[in-house]
Structures are given as C-alpha cells and as structure tokens.
Amino acid sequence: MSLNRPLGQCIRHTRHERLLHVPYRTFATTTEPPSTPEASPPPTPPSSDATPTHRYNPNLVHTPRMEKKLLAAQNQYPIGSRRRRAALATSTNIPFSQLPYQCFQEARKVLRHDRTEKVKEIEGMRQRITRLEARAGEGVESEAERKQREHRLRGMRKRLDDWKILADVNDPLVKKKFEDGMGDMNKPIYRHLSDLQWRSYKRRVLMQRITQMNVVPDVLQSIDPTYSTEIRFSDFHKVPHGEFVHSLFSEKPPVLTIQPYNQGERLVTISIVNPDVPNVGRDAFDYRCHFLACNVKVSPTNTTIDLAKLDPETQILQEWLPPHVQKGLPYQRHAIFTLEQDPATLNTVSASSAGTLDLSAMKTHEPKWAERDNFILRSFVDKLRLKPVGVDLFRAKFDDGTSEVMQRAGVMGGDVEFRRKRVEPLPYQRLKGSRFR
C-alpha cells in the first residue's frame, strides 16, 4: 500500500486503480506518523506488518475477494470491520488533531466546548443528587414528602444518565471506536450505541419471529426484551432467531451470549421451554422444560454463558435435555427466556444473599420446578417474581439423528411414529328427488 494516497479518497471507490494516478496536492503533515495520544494508533500500522512470508495483511485486506484469499492462503480471518480495514489501507492514518481541514478543526473545537459544558452539568447533577439523598435521614418526613423526594431523585438520575450519553455522543473518536468494535461496554455511551444498533434491526427481527411463531401468547403472555440473546451450538454454529437446528448439533447444551445494556452486575434465570410436546391422551400439546438454571451472573461485559459449565449445585435446576421431535410431528419451538431476579423481593425463598435463589431449598419445598413435564413458565415467573428481559427461539424437527440422540439421552420413544388421526367426513346428504341427477 502506497503511503502517498490522497487523504480524502472515497473509500467505496478504492478498487478503481485509475484513482491512484490522479494528480493531487499533498501536505507536509501527511507523511508524519501519528504521535499524539488523541488518536489511538492502529494495532498494526500498515507499513510495518507486511512481512514477506505473509502475502495478505489481515489488517488491510478489505475486498471480499482478498478476504477469501487471505483465508485460503494463510488460514487467517480479517481483523476488525471492513470499513476500518479499508480506511487503514487507503488513508495515512493522521490523528484528528493534525488533519489539515480548517472546518473540521473548528467543528472539533465546538464539540470540545460542548463536552466541557456537559461534564460541568454532570458534576452539578451528581452533587445535587448526593445532597438530596443525604436529606433522607434528617428530621421527620411524611409519606408524601418521601414519595416526592424519591420521584425527584428518579428524574434526576434519569437526567444524569442522559447527560452522560449526550457528552460523548457526537465525538468522532467514540464513533470510530464503536464501529471498530473497540467500545468499552462499561461506559454508558458504548452501551447506548450498541443498544441503538440492536434495536435498529436485530430486535425487530426477533420480535417478528416471537410473534409470528406465537411464542408470546403460548409460553408467556407478553415480553419487552431489553437484553439481546445469541445462541451458539458447538461453539461455532450461530443460530438465527427461530432457525431449525439439527438434532445432532443440539445434543450438547448451547453457549448463550446474553447482553444487557444497562449498568451493573445482576443475577438471571435462564429457562428453555418447549410448548409443543404431544399428548395423545389429551389430544393436545404440553410444555416441557429442557433447561433451567438460576443465579447466573450477567453484566454488560460478562455476557458469555456456557450452559454446560454452570454449577450443578448452586445454579442448575434442570440439566440440558436435547431437543427431540419424534417422526411425523410438526416442528417444536424451543423458547429461551432470560428472567431477571429481583434482589429486593426474593428473600421469601430463603435466600442466602440478596437476590440469590436457594436451589436446595427449592428442590425440597417446591419440587415441581425441578420437573420437566408440564413446566408452566407463567406460574414460575409469577411465583419467584422474575422479570422477563430477554428471549430467543430455535426450532427442532425430526431428522436422521433424532433416534440416536434420544437413545443416548435415555429418552424413551425413539421408535415411535406419529400419524394424522382420521377425521370422519360428514355424511353425504342426499338431495330430495332425482332432479339433481
């Protein structure tokens, strides 16, 4: 990659080789290496990492064709987003402070000034909140006054969170870091941006699948997901919402990625419920719980949960049961629900610490939650005062691996086939007379 490319070259058109030969004006500053700490240097600068043994640079490859070649020749995956790689390959990576555009620099000044104002506001709001909180213990306070104070505090905290996001939301560096996937989820701005990104498309797809496949009235009455969920079987097989999963893939428990977008660590309960279990005697469908685990710690940075590696003593109520759909049956939905445990109200189940469910006590006093068949998630959520925050879905149908999976899991009925029950036709009504013959 040549270093003497025009600075503002359109990234979309980099594949036009003729662009390289267009005469342009260079600045003296363009050749300087990035020295200021303001712009974080790329992990591997384009000039240094092109070793002769490796023909394709995973940091700079930015066309689909070259990406394929990189994978084929060096067995490497490209690093970062394609936008980032294209930018690294085609620009000189000058820090923002040294870019020779006057208007850009003026805009940065405006943004910097705006940010200092916002930071001042945040400081002021923090002090006001602490003052109002400190007033709680002073003197006698009526119920109405207490409620009013709490209402005010809620509003102030909300405004404080808004200021925190507004302080950084226009920063070009923040935008760049977020798009490169380098955002720190401990910071409110990156949580806000990733939440926006999730809600813009993926959550809509999820809600469509959940409503179209009737998970919402069949398993729970309603849900407003605020956590995003992702399923992976066998570490690499990522499952889109509502996709069919082959029974051999789903024999081992999946790895979930549960991403909350609000601050702090919390405990969640994860349940996987199948509402399509056939019941021939009743001529209806039953529920079955395929997995149930409580007290799973989740935070914006701690998101990956391997269901196989949870603690059987303190976390798992029901072990993983592989999905199995007998021959002839329609597909079965497996809904994954993330339920937030309430730290305040869970002491009723003899909790050892705030918000933690005591599983051994539950197993002795409430044995029905440890039973798979007829597991009603609605009553489970109501009894334990859980809050549904995340949902995901995958489907299973009969395939060539089902019977062996059932055999290995010790489930009876691998040799059972379901067939449609014949509905007697209505009796043919003979018309009067022979005029219709």
Partner 1 sequence: MALSHLHRSPRVPSIAALSALESALSSFRISPQADLPSNRRHASHQAQGRANGPKDTAGKRLGSKKADGQYVVPGNILFKQRGTLWYPGDGCFMGRDHTIHAAVPGYVKFYRDPIPHPKRKFIGVVFERANVLPQPHNAVRRRRLGMLAYQMPATTASTTGDLSTFTPSSPLPQSDDAAVVATIIREQPQEERLTKTIKTKRDGRWVETTLTRRPGYQWRTANWEIGMAAERSRAAQSVKAFKPGDRFAAWRKRNARIARNAEMRAMKRGGKKQGGGKGKK
The stretch near partner 1 (CB under 8 A) out of 101-109, 184-192, 272-280, 340-348 is 272-280
Q: Which of these segments, 294-302, 355-363, 366-374, 411-419, binds partner 1 (CB under 8 A)?
A: 411-419
Nearer residue to partner 1 within complex by CB, 103 or 280: 280
Element (H, E) at 253: none
User: If you search the block for the tokens 């400190």, which residue do you land on?
Assistant: 134
Pattern 179-218, binding to partner 1, x per CB under 8 A?
-----------------------------------x-xxx
User: Quick check: 422 binds partner 1 (CB under 8 A)?
Assistant: yes
Q: Which residues, 296 to 355, sit near partner 1 by CB under 8 A?
A: 326-329
Per CB under 8 A, 224 contacts partner 1:
no
Task: Give the x/- contact pattern for partner 1 in 43-62, rule: CB under 8 A.
Answer: --------------------
Strands 243-244 and 387-396: parallel
Which residues does 392 contact at the CB level (< 8 Å), separation at least 6?
Answer: 206, 229, 230, 231, 241, 256, 335, 336
CA distance 297 to 309: 13
Structure tokens at 39: 């712009």
Q: Is 284 in the site for partner 1 (CB under 8 A)?
A: yes
Q: What angle do CA 417, 418, 419 make, to 5 degrees?
A: 120
Alpha helix stretches (DSSP H) within 135-258: 143-168, 172-179, 188-197, 203-212, 215-218
Nearer to partner 1, 84 or 334 (CB): 334
Position 429 contacts partner 1 (CB under 8 A)? no
What sign results for the dihedral spanned by CA atoms 190, 195, 200, 201? positive
**Least distance (Å) between residue 107 CB and partner 1:** 45
Span of 56-64, 135-143, 362-370, 420-428 interacting with partner 1 by CB under 8 A: 420-428
d(CA 215, CA 235): 26
Distances (CA, A) of 348 to 158, 312, 342: 30, 22, 11
- Binding track, positions 131-170, relative to partner 1; x by CB under 8 A: ----------------------------------------
Q: Hey, what are 372's tokens?
A: 């798979």
Q: Which region among 253-261, 266-274, 275-283, 343-351 touches partner 1 (by CB under 8 A)?
A: 275-283
Q: Which residues bind partner 1 (CB under 8 A)?
A: 214, 216-218, 221-222, 278-285, 326-329, 413, 415-426
